[in-house]
Structure 1
Amino acid sequence: MVLWRFVKVFVMGAVLEDRMLLGLAAVGFLYILRLVYLVVPWFYAYFLRPAKPLSRYGEWALITGSTDGIGRAMTVELARKKINVVIVGRSPTKLDELSKELTSKYKAQVRSVVVDFMDDDLEAGLAKISQATSDIQVGILVNNVGISYPYARFLHEVDENLEKSLLRLNCETTTKMIHLFLPSMLKRKSGLIVNVGSGAVGILPSYPLYSVYAATKAYVEQLSRSLYVEYKHSGIDVQCQAPLYVATKMSKIRASFTAPSAEKYAKCALACAGYEPVITPYWVQSVMWFIIRLLPEPIMDSILLSKNLNIRRKGQAKENLAKKE
């Protein structure tokens, strides 16, 4: 009797152990499947997927904020791909220099429009752009113009002019530029709209000391997502490209493995243009995005707050030194 009970317990234990092992194996298998499901499409998108032929959208592209940083690099890359460009900026000198470079190097047709989007009469600026493009079909619109903080600061330290600039350039101008060219794209049933967002939104749980900037870029991302769904069946591709740091005048950093030059970023940006509604074009930053998302929000919040407080201290020190001089 005792022996039988012992055998029964032993057999039941073995069965339970087998079931546990089977369960663990099933969980492991599902985890591997999920990993494959994530990694394979990611690898294809960044390394194997062919870029869309930009000429399918039309012969002309218009780029705002085209004389510096990402905007300039994307303009050059579009011209290199034999797309004619309408360059929009506030500096006649820089526009003229860029126009000469594009026509001499790439034989592209170039039209320049001098517009300062911070001018109180935004409608007048939009009217200038409309007039300059009235006889051509703009198939690609790159909304690149934007502004960030000079350095990190608390909300109560954001003055009225800076707040106005952030809302005007990052939100209102982007929306009105889309309004300007969307009807003609709908008529042709073809178009590409690229809105330059920021990795500070969506990827990061918060962006302390850059709150208004982050909020305006969240607007750009949500606008792009919604328009992607609204117009994807009308032949119009809408995309928000959300880079992390890129080595530009605005970011004030040097190019590195994790922060590409504007030129390198532009190549990546056009390679993925017209696909996902939101994407981080540079593959290294896409990996960084994945790792960041694994961290608990309180830890990430603490890291960002500490980092941006340090940026604020340095910015205030430079500002105070400039005042003394």
Structure 2
Amino acid sequence: MMAWFASLVVLGSVYVAALAFRLLSHLTVCLRRCYGTWAVLTGPTSGIGWSVAMELARRGLNLVLVGRDPAKLRDISETISRAAPTVQTKTVLFDLSLLTTAQGEEAMRQLQQTVEELDVGLLVNNAGVLEPSAVFLHEADVEACVDMIRVNLLALTEVTAAVIPGMVNRGRGAVVNLGSASSEAIPSLPLYTMYAATKRYVARFSKCLHVEYRRKGIDVQCQAPFFVDGTMASRFAEARRFVPLTPTPDAYARAAVRWIGHGPLCVPNFRHQIMWFFAGIAPDFLQDGILLRDHLWQRNELQITRSLPEVCPIKQGGHAAA
């Protein structure tokens, strides 16, 4: 009996110590020097990206906005100018899915020239694509898979490689890569295999860079959110079950910016932390079965939708994928 009680005391002490260390780390990061006056953000024209851009602007950071739609880039730039008149913005037109083409190489050169002239202290690799979705691997469109790899994996790598040398020279900076709970918190994501695999790369890439660059004054972090309202979450059949635990993009952005610098992997939003906890205690076979069932249902629904004749085009609203 005494041994059992002593074990509980030890476990409790370790848990309290871990919480205290986490709080101390949080306070230390909040009080440390700023990383720099400029931030580079990919995918800023909708969803999480839009909200992160506005949150960074609210905190006084000038922004280099990297996206593929000139009208939407102009829209977010004008919105920032109205909300934060002292904040400067620059835009770089860059379709990340064209990275390995001549057009993509020219856009990358433009990005490199832009950041070389600025005190860039923060890079947020937010851009990502979800297609192909709800398909078996042998059914997936090859070109769509290539585009996903270019955006989710290759572009993130090359943009980081373009921005980080300046941080090394200045001895300070932070890189935030948007990963996904689909590769970290749950055992599998059937019928979204390519997406989960690319996001697993993001987490591993971030962890290794965190170790490499920490002594150079650079924090590298992967943030792994669950569903966020109005973005890619709407693509997942199971998202409707977790509406009470799904934050808005603005709520996620506020938490995401607060957590910059807090370790190589984090889940900034408290609602997502609750989901992470339950995902950790649920058996793998149970999660695998539920997700496979949900995604097979979604696959069937998408096949029915695609087979229906188009009678009248309907304009879709809402945010696009980040």
TM-score (norm 1): 0.86
Correspondence for 1:258 among 231, 245, 257? 245
CA separation in 2, counterparts of 1:154 and 1:93?
35
Q: Which residue of 1 aligns with 2:92?
A: 113
Contact 2:132–2:192 (CA under 8 A) maintained in structure 1 = no
Correspondence for 1:242 among 224, 227, 245? 224
Three-state SS of the structure 2 residue aligned to 1:148 is coil
Are residue 273 (structure 1) and residue 260 (structure 2) matched? yes
Q: Which residue of 2 aligns with 1:290?
A: 277
Are residue 22 (structure 1) and residue 9 (structure 2) matched? no
CA separation in 2, counterparts of 1:34 and 1:303?
35
CA separation in 2, counterparts of 1:45 and 1:214?
33
Q: For residue 22 of structure 1, report the CA deviation from its aligned partner.
A: 2.0
Q: Which has the larger radius of gyration?
A: 1
Contact 2:115–2:163 (CA under 8 A) maintained in structure 1 = no
Change (3 A) 1:191 1:90: same
Which deviates further from its counterpart, 157-166 or 112-121? 112-121
Identity across the alignment (%): 34
CA separation in 2, counterparts of 1:313 and 1:35?
46
CA separation in 1, counterparts of 2:31 and 2:271?
24
After TM superposition, the structure 1 = structure 2 runs for residues 177-256 of structure 1, keeping only pairs within 5 Å, are: 177-252=159-234, 256=243
After TM superposition, the structure 1 = structure 2 runs for residues 1-325 of structure 1, keeping only pairs within 5 Å, are: 21-37=1-17, 44=23, 49=27, 52=30, 56-107=34-85, 108-119=87-98, 120-121=101-102, 122-149=104-131, 151-252=133-234, 256-321=243-308
Unaligned runs of at least 5 residues, structure 2: 313-322
TM-score (norm 2): 0.87
Q: For residue 32 of structure 1, report the CA deviation from its aligned partner.
A: 3.2
Change (3 A) 1:41 1:150: farther
Contact 1:268–1:281 (CA under 8 A) maintained in structure 2 = yes
Matched letter for residue 42 of structure 2: T
Q: Which has the higher contact order (CA 8 A, sep 6+)?
A: 2
Three-state SS of the structure 1 residue aligned to 2:288 is helix
Three-state SS of the structure 2 residue aligned to 1:275 is coil
Q: Which residue of 1 aligns with 2:320?
A: none
Change (3 A) 1:318 1:156: same
CA separation in 1, counterparts of 2:110 and 2:70?
14
Unaligned runs of at least 5 residues, structure 1: 1-20
Q: How big is the alpha-carbon RMSD for the aligned residues of Structure 1 and Structure 2?
A: 2.3
Q: For residue 51 of structure 1, report the CA deviation from its aligned partner.
A: 6.2
Which deviates further from its counterpart, 300-309 or 251-260? 251-260
Q: For residue 23 of structure 1, report the CA deviation from its aligned partner.
A: 2.9
Matched letter for residue 22 of structure 1: M
Q: For residue 256 of structure 1, report the CA deviation from its aligned partner.
A: 4.2
